[in-house]
Amino acid sequence: MERILKKVVTAKESGQTVRSFLQNEMGFTKAQIRSLKYLPRGICVNGEKVRVTYVLSFGDRIEICLEQGKSSEERVAPVSHPVEILYEDRDVIAVWKPSGTPTHPVASHKTDTMANYLLGYFSEKQEKVLIRVIGRLDVDTQGILLFGKNRTASAKLWKQHEQGILTKEYLAKCEGIFPKEAYKKEQKITMPVGKCHKDPGNSFRVNPEGKTAVTYYQVLDDHTVRLRLETGRTHQIRIHMAAIGHPLEGDALYGNGKRGETRAALAAWKLEFRQPFTGEEISLKRYPTWKEENCPG
């Protein structure tokens, strides 16, 4: 499905070139504008395709086609399956991912992922979209997943992520007794994370030669911890909490859980971002299945 963004030029905005208007008034990057230039109906004024050097006048109707091309259905099979929708508008959709469900297809999971289920949802609505996930979650992690529904919206959301505007918060159940200061204020873990070539079963560990990894956490009660990430390394929360002696409950990879019996108690419970085009602030919360009571506000 094409997504057309429309805007009428005001008297104050007139006199600008299309390029300047797209950058200054609509927030497009230079790279995005270059991509739009080569689309058949990428940039139109008053129904006609124009160059980015075209000078706009008061009352001109500018139309930007944000998506042209194949839908995700042509690359990922749509599968009919219940999906919990937490938020949706014309540009983004947020869903709840259960533990044990992959984010997108991989070699061992071709049709049982959130991408398959989400495309099944759109197929039933007879909508063709090109979805892009904004930060995936590990298979064992439950939580809020955000998808862009067109190329430009996705790019804007990733920019928010880089700027710290799009933020995600996690809840975890951890083992062990925490020090008193961890209850009073947020604690910081700074340990590099990298591949562990000596142990093929645990491909990532705290590794002095790995990449910088920073995790912040605060204990809410005897077992529940609230966390946020400054970096996003593979299994970062699970690795860091295990490294300080507080592995996640049920974590068979880095903790004391038994393989095949339980899953790591970790959930991306809170997500905040801005609507890519209107700038509206959106805050989503959904408590994990293992903690329905006494959750933070």
What are the catalytic residues? 138
Among candidates 174, 208, 213, which has minimal Cα distance to 190? Answer: 213
CA 261 to CA 217: how far, in whole Å?
27
**CA–CA separation, 148 vs 152, rounded Å?**
8
Helices and strands per DSSP (H, E), number in the chain: 6, 16
Using a 10 angstrom Cβ sphere, with 0-12 exposed, 13-18 middle and 19 or more buried, the burial of residue 128 is: middle
CA distances from 248 to 135, 166, 172, 190, 266 (A): 21, 25, 7, 18, 7
Straight-line distance from the first to the last Cα atom of the chain, in angstroms, rounded to the nearest whole number: 37
DSSP state of 150: S
Q: Which two tokens stand for residue 292?
A: 């329905």
